[in-house]
Amino acid sequence: MIKPELKDFLQSEEIKIIKGNVAAAYAAKSARVQVISAYPITPQTTVVEKLSEFVDGGLMPGTQYIKVESEHSVLASLVGSSMAGTRTFTATSGQGLFYMYEMVHWTAGVRLPIVMAIASRGPAPPWNIWADFTDVISCRDTGWMSAFTATHQEIYDEILMSYKVCEDYDVLLPKFVAYGGFILSHTSKPVILEDQDKVDNFLPPLPDEKGWPHIWIDPKRPLMHGNLIMPSGFYSEFRMKIHDALIRSKSKIKAVAKEFEKTFGRSYGNGLIQEYRMDGADVAMLNYGDLALQMEEAIDAVREEGYKVGMVKLRHFRPFPVEDIIEVAKKVKVLGVMDRATAFGSPTGGPVSSEVKTALHGTKGTALIFPMINGIGGREVTVEQQKEQLKILIKINETGELPEDLLHGTLWHGKLEVD
């Protein structure tokens, strides 16, 4: 058992101009994580590099930093550490996450509150290291919660909020905190790093030597964990409990977002979604990740031209905010859903647009859902393009006609011109 020492390095409130990756590292430090396991992969590498600097420089006394030979071992070692009753952290991207996949399922199965930052990148081939959320979204059915963040500050804030949600005894599930590779990971913006005392008061206390409530590792009392269970055993019931906990985590996420706002003064909507200028909107776009922030600029410009447009920022993919999406879809006539990820062979080809359609199934009086995909593999999306996207929704609302250039009902926006 690793015991944090008393003479911890204390962070006082400070604004620093830092990269998104560095904001993630500072969040882990502020959360006083006790075990970090690391393997480098672009564009995440500077997260674990920064943490190794902190640990080496004595700024995280008591924290164990484990260097392993692969991402699979990163998560395997964190599973062990978390089972022993410690707060743990790591970060990965794209192929690294895929290499971890077996342990991704394992983590949720053991109900461990591990938080992992994901600097999202497009899956290979061809090799791609730029923003695309297909990596984190492809872990949809593992039992992990997953959050998208749109700003550097939100990376720091969401990691803190995540520990509070994950470690809640009614939840006890792991969580991804994702942000676009390079777009957030390598750009620098001012970020408020919070006072250590304030963070300590906000977060639950670090687990004591008894660890988490459902697992107690004690060398004097050896037990076998994760053993083979016969089909007649409790396997099915364990799975039901994971689903139940994930659905119930919605109310916890909302409560934590509210408490975060009260403590630190920064609002993230209701935690699951965040609306922007939805008052009286005829049409709206649902965005997630960095493009949600930039869409605000496009919304303002198109509103200026006299059109009633709004935006909904999706903050969580799992748990999926079904009830909130129904409410949003009742407010507008056309709801564009913009994916920066692919779900091949799904109803729309986009993972979030497919979820939105599923969420609305069986509810009458909701908006026409128009699925769109852009920015795949980090392709640049400009504010001008985002204004065009809004204009497409306005046109659908005015004429009732869909654009012609659709692929199985979905508009892939910003394609290269080919002669």
Partner 1 sequence: MKDNGIIEITFHGRGGQTAITASQLLAEFTFEKGFKDTIAIPIIGAERRGAPIQAFTKISQDKSIRTYDSVKDPDYMLIFDTSLLSIPRINETIKEGVTLIVDSVRPLDKNKLPKNVKVFIVDATGICIKNKFMHSSGPILNIPMLGAFGKVSGYYALEIMEKVLKKEFGEERIDKNMAVAKDAYESVKEV
The site for partner 1 (CB under 8 A) is made up of 15, 17, 43, 180, 182-184, 186-190, 290, 293-294, 296-297, 380-383
Q: Which residues are paired to 369 by β-bridges? A: 335
The nearer residue to partner 1, 119 or 139, going by C-beta atoms, is 119
The nearer residue to partner 1, 143 or 269, going by C-beta atoms, is 269
CB of 270 to partner 1, least distance (A): 21
The nearer residue to partner 1, 350 or 375, going by C-beta atoms, is 375
CB of 228 to partner 1, least distance (A): 46
The nearer residue to partner 1, 384 or 398, going by C-beta atoms, is 384
The nearer residue to partner 1, 190 or 400, going by C-beta atoms, is 190
CB of 283 to partner 1, least distance (A): 20
Q: 210 with 85: CB under 8 angstroms?
A: yes
CB of 379 to partner 1, least distance (A): 11
CB of 201 to partner 1, least distance (A): 28
The nearer residue to partner 1, 186 or 258, going by C-beta atoms, is 186
CB of 14 to partner 1, least distance (A): 11
Place of tokens 């009633």: 308
The nearer residue to partner 1, 67 or 189, going by C-beta atoms, is 189
CB of 153 to partner 1, least distance (A): 11
